[in-house]
Amino acid sequence: MNLLEQKFTPETWPEHPETYTQEGKNKFIGFWLFLAGETVLFASLFATYLALKDSVPNSDHALAADIYSLELVFIMTAILLTSSLTSVYAIYHMRNYNFKQMQLWFFITVLLGLSFLALEIYEFTHYVYEYSFTFGSSAFSSAYYTLVGTHGAHVCFGLGWITALIIRNQKRGLNLYNAPKYYVASLYWHFIDLVWVFIFSVVYLMGMLG
């Protein structure tokens, strides 16, 4: 009788399981609203970064064009964009009630996210040790690390979230209780990806070329 725990087959599975129940609908709307707030949050970070770009105490301090390496950032971008695609596959399989495939593609998404994170950690340590570009060395570095670091923290949280979903539901499969959860996690992942596209353009491309 509890709709949330009912077992389905691919035939009876609703077309949009994420918004089939009232709880799902609430989550869907609520999460989009949350993302609106997150957009303003990142907009504030971007604005500060642009205001403080290359704002350093003295001429010895590294500037944007000195430190960024487009090769590394290109690889990171490719990885993260691909992870967005794999999460789309996962949701595609969720809609078709193909639980195993969905889990697999979410797992691949997590792996890609992890490799992105590893590269970002490498990038940060590289800046710190090669260029003494630390969190507190200038207003520019503070703004940079806060912006890119906040994005990194979001990636971290997203990885933990999706991993928890994968492990928690491994045994019981899809139902109308966890489908909205997977769905909003994938929305979150897309959002992180979108923010990265802006970081790539505004921070790195404009940093090197602008």
Partner 1 sequence: MSTIAVRKSFLSTVWEYLTTVDHKKIAHLYLGAGGFFFLLGGLEALFIRIQLMKPQNNFVNEQLFNELMTMHGTTMIFLAAMPLLFAYMNAVVPLQIGARDVAFPFLNALGFWLFFWGGIFLNLSWFLGGAPDAGWTSYASLSLASEGHGIDFYTLGIQISGFGTLMSGINFLATIITMRAPGMSFMRMPLFTWTTFIASSLILMAFPPLTISVFYLIFDRLFNSAIFDVTLGGNTIIWEHFFWIFGHPEVYILILPAFGIFSEIIPTFSRKRLFGYSSMVFATILIGFLGFMVWAHHMFTTGLGNVANAIFAVATMAIAVPTGIKIFNWLLTMWGGSIKITVPMIWALGFIPSFVMGGVTGVMQGIAPLDYQLHDTYFIVAHFHYVIIGGVVFAIFAAAHFYWPKMFGKMLSEKLGYVTFAFFFVGFHMTFFVQHFLGLMGMPRRVATFLPGQGLDLYNFISSLGAILMTIGVIVLLVNIVITSMSKQQVANDPWGDGRTIEWALPSPPPYYNFKQLPLVRGQDTWWLEKMEGNKELPPAEPLQDIHMPKGSILPFFIALGLFIAGFGAMYNPLNQVGDGHPMGTVVLIFGLAMTFGTMLLRSLRDDLGYYIPKEELEDDDAKGGKVS
Q: Which residues bind partner 1 (CB under 8 A)?
A: 2, 4-5, 22, 25-26, 29-30, 33-34, 36-38, 40-41, 44-45, 48, 51-52, 55-57, 135-143, 145-146, 160-161, 164-165, 168, 177, 181
Taking the least distance from each CB to partner 1, the nearer of 57 and 210 is 57
Closest approach, Cβ 139 to partner 1, in A, equals: 4
In sequence order, which ranges of 96-200 are alpha helices (DSSP H)? 99-131, 139-169, 179-198
> Closer CB to partner 1, residue 49 or residue 79?
49
Least distance CB 33 / partner 1 (angstroms): 5
Smallest gap from residue 164 Cβ to partner 1 (A): 6
Contact 13, 168 (CB under 8 A): no
Q: Which is nearer to partner 1, 48 or 82 (CB)?
A: 48
Residue with smaller CB distance to partner 1, 76 or 165? 165
Strands of 25-127, DSSP E:
none
Quote the distance between the C-alpha of residue 55 and its chain's center. Answer: 28
- Residue 43 beta carbon to partner 1: minimum distance, rounded to whole angstroms: 8
178 Cβ neighbours under 8 A, 6+ residues apart? 165, 168, 169
**Measured distance CA(5)–CA(177) in Å, rounded:** 7
Contact 155, 193 (CB under 8 A): no
